[in-house]
Chains A and B, each alone.
Chain A
Amino acid sequence: MTPQTDALPTSFTDTAHATPAARISEARRLFWSIRRELWENRAIYIAPLAVAAFILLGFFYSTVRMPAVMLITDTVNGVVTHTSHGIDPILPYTIAAGLLMATTFLVAIFYSLDALYGERRDRSILFWKSLPISDLTVVLSKAAIPLVILPLLTWAVTVATQSIMLLINVTVFHARGIDTGPLHSGLPLTQNSMMLLYHLVAVHALWYAPIWCWFLLVSAWARRTPLLWATLPPIVLGVLEMITLHSGHVFEFLKYRIHGPGDIDFTASHAGATMPMGATMSISPTQFLTTPGLWAGLALAAVFLAAAIQLRRYRNPL
């Protein structure tokens, strides 16, 4: 570079001397990219928070208004026993966890299908590509939402919601003169929250990883309606298989992936429990980690992600 004087009038005199640029690590770029995703897709946290608020309102109302006889339960040795009238006090907590999980599951589906499609549709990809962030970092930041952020967020919101519910429960029961004994001894909330975390990481993040990555791949590829492109081909394939080969391997495969590994070894002691994650809970971490389907799925997820990264490189705005 030959030093030349700057003959033009400039408001900023230091531009001619390029200062050695501060190094920005890939980790920092990934952090900012994930932050960017949360700015753009506020539904990621607003949806579960709204559902949590709705649950708390409903719970408060029903605790205050429900006939006392419905709320009275007995415990024997710390285990809730159903009386003729009472509702198992854990039930509202379980329903809350289930609702929150269903909410973030839907958010994850719609987020993943739009993640690499929306930026091409509104042409903002041209702005993102004008910045020094690699396709790898961008796609990883988008994959982190369903794989990391949403499971952890679901857990945090659920634990917070259940804690507030317990507070409401105890306070209202006190005020109405209902025995709070079963609440203290009969609600295995800490244990449940650990199981919930295990379920979210094992199933929603790891077991469903190929589904999220498939959605990301389709959103990087589709020219329109990524939802249809993501769901119709497997279904059509399955139907074609049934018609031509009279077998159901495709549907069997899909069912196994969606239903989870709980099917393989259903030795549940609390199989009859109303926990929505009951099926998986029956599997120990060791059993889960030695399920070949898990590793096959993760390998498939890695292939889908690699393809999505390549596609983002080649794809132009729509």
Chain B
Amino acid sequence: MTTIQATGLHKSYGPSVALNSIDLNVGEGRILGLIGPNGAGKTTLLNAILGLTAYQGELSVLGRNPWTQRDQLMNDVAFVADVAVLPRWMRVSDAIDFVAGIHPRFDRTKAEAFLARTTIKRTSKVRELSKGMVAQLHLALVMSIDARLLVLDEPTLGLDILFRKQFYDSLLNDYFDHHRTIVITTHQIDEVQYILTDLLFIDRGNLVFGCSMEDFDTRYLELIVNPGQLPAARALKPIQERQTFGRSILLYDRVPREQLAPLGDIRTPTIADVFVAFVGQPNQPAPYSPPPVPTPSSYTGAAQ
């Protein structure tokens, strides 16, 4: 079952194009990391998916048009836009009462159980909580909603590393199951690497790279080239080359490990390394089309 399906999704603000006719297909049970620099179009894409902004092109979320059928859609979708959007005047108990009062899929006992693990007092107001506690509260509310799609836009911005780790652990252990789909954007790429099933890079309104994490782990290798073997290494067509401490580091896509081994030290790149290769280059080949994906600027996550 497809959770998100976009065809030619386009959005421009006057002359500036925020989303450049992108195609996207995210299946049920996936955890998609949407990675891109500031202003790349991440939030615009999420806003379109959440029915917060009008768009051109085709977009279907859980079989519904998010712009025209938003009211029904929001029964099945939960999102955390960023930390600190919980109303500051609200009491913790009021927040639970309110969501329980209006949300058909909210499970109050779950929310209470999540909160019981924290030091958050039921009588506190949001403005009295630390930023980490607000994030915990928001997550407790969202994870108690039996949603089929959860969208997290920079959910851990400004939180310390302990909270961030706890946040993602909680998400994975207590919330995720194979009937839900989660879309996450974040700048702390490497922290989410282990929870993602799919990866998508967005830059200047284009989807420049997409693959599943299984593919990612087998396809990409980094070679720290031995001095003198640089020409041989370059002959294997690296997708990126950079210099660190006087040594060349070359990034390869689908080059067998055995071919690279004699030329230097091999290591597995992080998402950040590959991200820089696709997005960080001044003269990058955009839009990039990875070999198995049929159309440029498109990505089809493993649906089904």
Q: Which residues of A contact B (CB under 8 A)?
A: 1-2, 4-12, 15-16, 18-19, 21-24, 28-29, 31-33, 35-36, 39-40, 119, 122-127, 129-134, 314, 316
Contacts and interface: CB of A to CB of B under 8 A. Distances in A.
Given A124-B87, A132-B104, 20 more contacts: A8-B177, A15-B175, A21-B75, A21-B146, A24-B102, A29-B101, A36-B94, A40-B87, A122-B88, A124-B86, A126-B82, A127-B86, A130-B74, A130-B78, A131-B74, A131-B102, A132-B74, A132-B75, A133-B74, A316-B53
Most chain B beta carbons < 10 A, residue from A6, A124, A125: A124
Contacts of A29: 101-102
B110 interface: yes
B98 interface: yes
20 contacts: A2-B1, A4-B179, A7-B178, A10-B175, A11-B113, A16-B178, A21-B75, A24-B104, A28-B101, A28-B102, A33-B102, A39-B94, A126-B85, A127-B85, A130-B80, A130-B142, A131-B99, A132-B104, A133-B102, A134-B70
A2 B3 CA distance: 13
Q: Which of A18, A21, A126 has the most CB of B within 10 A?
A: A126
B173 A10 contact: yes
B102 A16 contact: no
B71 A132 contact: yes
A40 B71 contact: no
A40 B146 contact: no
B52 interface: yes
B75 A16 contact: no
A119 B85 CA distance: 9
Interface of B: 1, 28-29, 50, 52-54, 70-72, 74-75, 78-82, 84-91, 94, 98-99, 101-105, 110, 113, 138, 142, 146, 148, 172-180, 304
B78 A9 contact: no
Contacts of B105: 18, 21
10 shortest A-B CB distances, which residue pairs? Answer: A126-B81, A21-B104, A32-B101, A132-B74, A124-B87, A4-B178, A126-B85, A134-B71, A6-B177, A127-B85
B178 A11 contact: no
Given A8-B173, A15-B146, A129 B75 contact: no
A16 B81 contact: no
A9 B173 contact: yes
A5 B179 CA distance: 9
Contacts of A133: 74, 102
Contacts of B89: 39-40
Contact of A15 (B94, B103, B142, B177): B177
